[in-house]
Structure 1
Amino acid sequence: MKNQSLFALATLLTTGVFAQEPIQFTAKGLVALSDADLSASTLVDGNLYKSKGSRDVLTVVKFPLDRNGQNITTAPISNSSALYDKAAVVSPNGRFAFVLEGHGPLGDTVATLKDGIKGLPAATRMFIVDLAPAKPTAKVVSVGALPTAITINPQGNTLAVASGEAGKEMRLVEFDNTGTPKRVITAPSPVPGARITDLVWSPAGDFIAYSIEDSQEVGIMKYSLDAAKKPNIVPHGKPIKVGGLPATGKFSPDGKFFIISDIKKGTNAQGAGKGELFVVQFSTEDTPGEHKIVSQLAAGESSESLTISPDGSMVVVANAGQSYQPYGNAAAGKSSLSVYTLDKEGKLTLANEYPFEGVLPQSIEFDKNGAAIAVAVSEYIDYGDRSGAIEFWKVNKGDKPSLEKMAGKISVPRGCHTVRVY
């Protein structure tokens, strides 16, 4: 009988019945940012609910995971959830993370924020984080006052950074293989005097999409190198209106479409109401025609963050709802994910929706083969020493794609607002 039991155990181990890991995610690693200053409900009630001694953190996760957390490290990198998920990029080779500070840190003695975002300290810094060492290391450079968004070209050697510096709202930062900037070129906003709130490099590397929150517009700039290999960007065509408060935009993998979320209203005590998704087709001819909206569709409330599958067939949106409300509100902590199909003509169709318990999911990304997604969750309806997390969902592909929540999650410091996969 004993021998039979041992044989049965050996069979289970061999066949992998015990090998099903609670997190299955195909990637070299991921980077997450946590803002220790702002609680999710701060912009509603002004209270920071900050834990004494807590500091902003960058978390590096390398796969495969180890239950003891040996593959999870942290570094004290200042960052701000006020930038949503536009605060960081990782180089295509996974060597460097580039993080915008956005706003400076608040001291432990500050308990409330009276003027909303305006009450946060100004910042000019970008951190260049080397992910290769066992303990990440960082260099610091200035990228102009109040940087708002960052993107990296597909070749992995140039950044585009938006800031609030008048007449220099755009920066192209070329860097070498040590992550050190070797040339910085400034340019004015493509819409004179306007603050850029999102930047996305096209998959081919020849255009940069931009969003202007104040005028509710999106457009593109053409990127090129002159004979001396000096980079140049110029506005390409006129920007196009997209809703009331354009948030996060992404190119489809083939570069044919640009999908952008419209959250209508920012965080507030009354909620934002239903959002909307726009599918834009930019005119990329040498002589630009008009950019056009090829489809639009109602979305969930506060549908800030979205991701597109590697094959371009699916769009998944994280809906924050009113999860950011103070704990006494019935809507607090209730978020959802929406799954859409995207056809070859740019039409979006809702396939499935999934409620889940989590506060203010602000960032979402597919893994490398499109079989799973990672979602950054700011916090939960918890008391005491609160934490955020990266949650994972399995993707079931098909005509009506669906999701299954994985059993495991990665706990990170409270205020998680950005996740980047590499």
Structure 2
Amino acid sequence: MNGPILAAATFAIAFSLAAPDSTQAAGGAKAASEILGRVSASRIAVISDGDFLAQTYGTAELAPREAGYRDLLTIMSQAENKIVTRSIPISNSVTSAPEILALTKDGRTAFVTERLGERPEGGKRIGDLPPGRRLFAVDLSDSAPRLSATIEIEAFPEALSISPDGESIAVVSNTPEASFVQIVAYRNGRFGHLARFDLADLGVTGSAPAPRGGVTATNVHWHPSGRFLAVNINTQSRVAFFEVIGGDDAPMLRPWGNVVKVGADPFVGRFTPDGRHYLTANWGRNFAATNLEGRIPQTPSTISVRLANPAESHRPARHNLVGAAETDFSSEGIAISPDGRLVATVNMRGTAFPPGSARFHRNASVTLLSFDPATGAISKRADYSFEGVLPEGGAFDRTGDHFLVTVFQGHDGSLPEAGPGLEVFRVEKGDRPTLSRLGRVPLPHGAHHVDLAP
């Protein structure tokens, strides 16, 4: 946010690509090129917030201007035996769920939305940041990323999802008056028709003495068939499902089956690759608390919801809660492997607390879980800790052999290899799957979500 969104220059850094040794165990820090050379992806995209520090949540003070941090979209790709990294300034905010960045399947376009807008001149506190109102499309087809389209949407967007055909973007926003699902058409590098749906008009209401009656939508995700959307209402611990009907330029939504009660504070969620289940990462925050100590919980979990079978159109759709498994403290991001058999959550633990707090943890973690696509059974394998502050987003690569986690910043005095970046793990598959740490790829301050193109 430190500068215009169309700031002129992007920059490129090329790393020499060492020949990967797939049998080498994780040890000390390895060159970023070697680590990324193992990952199966045509492009890796990471979004970074330059306005916030980890302690901003407690102090409300933004990062000092002199730190030089910026809101950036960073793109890493392989070209001629090199890992090439390029970045472009794109307004974004870590105050949303990690789901504000997504790549199209072909890796040619990245979509980003901003919950809070660009920092004004002289802005020093959270309250100085205006509401975010924009959805951005970034063209990645050329050697340098380029902002190709922008559209204004409802204020305070929380999350987005790309339809399987890549031609529609779903976004949820929470204004002071209403929670909205928006569907934006995107073709030939341009945004088209924008359809807005008030969740209250779709039957999702609340009576709490809070904005919108206590309804807050924090996640939207497109079903693999392209026919349905899931929307997480984290303040009510519920997930609502909608069928998308009508043409691409005039879509409509109607409820699909029942709204499902899940675990406390389902901040983010994902459909499984086969479309039979929907999994949520339940943070479990206390929304009535007035300070960080009171709000951050210690009992998150991951929930499996079995979906109705769309083929059984003669029956009313009925979704059921079928499984649960504890993860680790302050679980936020969630990812599912391409084969649907592994689930990973990204857990902040107590890294958000100041070092003097009794609840401070220097290490965050990833929880690896096994999932049975047939039954919906889910079971925890283990927690894998690593040093870093506020890790949030995570993603498996194309083959499911690696898992990548964003780290927002390092601890004061930490070495570069423990600072902001991508923590990369190798997935050891088999009857007893495990994770093995490969190392960290340094990135600009504020990394909070990652997405990969096959």
TM-score calculated relative to the size of structure 2: 0.81
Match of 2:341 in 1: 313
Give the alignment partner of residue 88 of structure 2, picking from 67, 75, 79: 75
User: Could you tell me whether the CA contact under 8 Å between 2:134 and 2:150 is conserved in 1?
Assistant: yes
Partner of 2:251: 231
Provide the residue aligned with 2:76 in structure 1. Answer: 61
Q: 1:297: Cα distance to partner?
A: 1.7
- Please name the residue that 1:420 is paired with: 451
Give the letter for the 2:181 counterpart.
M
Deviation at 1:251, TM superposition (A): 1.0
In 2: Cα distance, 1:182 partner to 1:16 partner: 45
Give the letter for the 1:268 counterpart: L
SS at match of 1:81: coil
**Structure 1 gap ranges (5+):** 1-12
Per-residue deviation, 1:119: 6.0
Task: Tell me by how many angstroms 1:232 deviates.
Answer: 2.2
Q: Are positions 1:206 and 2:227 aligned together?
A: yes
Q: Is the 8 A contact 1:220 1:282 kept in 2?
A: no
Change in CA separation of 1:327 and 1:75 when aligned onto 2, cut-off 3 Å: farther
Q: Distance in 1 between matches of 2:80 and 2:390?
A: 25
Partner of 2:276: 256
Shift of residue 300, structure 1, vs aligned partner: 0.8
The corresponding residue for 1:183 is: 193
2-structure distance, mates of 1:289, 1:17: 47
Note the alpha carbon deviations across 1:70-114, whole angstroms, 9 max, x for none.
Answer: x1001010100011312121111111111101101334744444x
Paired residue for 1:334, among 357, 363, 377? 363
**Cα deviation 1:321-343 (Å, max 9, x = unaligned):** 01122244462431011111011
> Structure 2 vs 1, CA of residues 332 and 290 (structure 1 numbering), >3 Å: closer, same or farther?
same
Partner Cα separation in structure 2 for residue 196 and residue 288 of structure 1:
25
Residue 158 in structure 1 maps to residue 153 in structure 2: no
Work out whether 1:141 is the aligned partner of 2:158. no
Indicate conservation of the 8 Å contact 2:97/2:158, yes or no: no
Structure 1 equivalent of residue 132 of structure 2? 123
The residue that corresponds to 2:305 in the other structure is: 280
AA aligned to 1:136 is P
CA pair 66-101 structure 1, distance change in 2 beyond 3 A:
farther
After superposition, the C-alpha distances for 1:300-351 in whole angstroms (9 at most, x for unaligned) are: 1111111111111111111110112224446243101111101121111111
C-alpha distance in structure 2 between counterparts of 1:321 and 1:254, whole Å: 31
Question: Aligned residue for 2:209?
Answer: none
Equivalent of residue 174 in structure 1, options 185, 208, 232: 185
- Mark the runs of 5 or more structure 2 residues left unpaired by the alignment: 1-18, 25-30, 206-211
> Structure 1: how far apart are the matches of 2:98 and 2:408?
12
Deviation at 1:27, TM superposition (A): 0.5
Alignment match, 2:397: 367
User: For 1:399 and 1:208, how far apart are their aligned partners in 2?
Assistant: 33
1:404 matched to 2:418? The reply is no
Alignment-mate amino acid for residue 172 of structure 1: I
Say if 2:39 is the partner of 1:25: yes
- C-alpha distance 105-332 of structure 1, shift in aligned 2 (>3 A): farther
Q: Contact 2:97 / 2:218 at 8 angstroms: preserved in 1?
A: no
- The CA distance in 2 between the partners of 1:296 and 1:236, in whole Å, is 23
Q: Does 1:44 pair with 2:54?
A: no
1:265-284 CA deviation, whole Å, 9 max, x = no partner? 17923541121111011224
Q: Equivalent residue for 2:319?
A: 291
Q: Report what 2:116 is aligned to.
A: 103
Q: Following the alignment from structure 1 to structure 2, what is the Cα–Cα distance between the partners of residues 104 and 26?
A: 34
Shift of 1:211: 0.7
TM-score normalised by the chain length of structure 1:
0.87
Give the drift of 1:229: 6.8
The answer on whether the counterparts of 1:324 and 1:333 sit within 8 Å (CA) in structure 2 is: no
More deviation, 228-237/271-280: 228-237
Report if the CA contact (8 A) 2:154-2:173 is conserved: yes
Letter in 2 for 1:200: H
How large is the Cα RMSD of the aligned pairs?
2.7
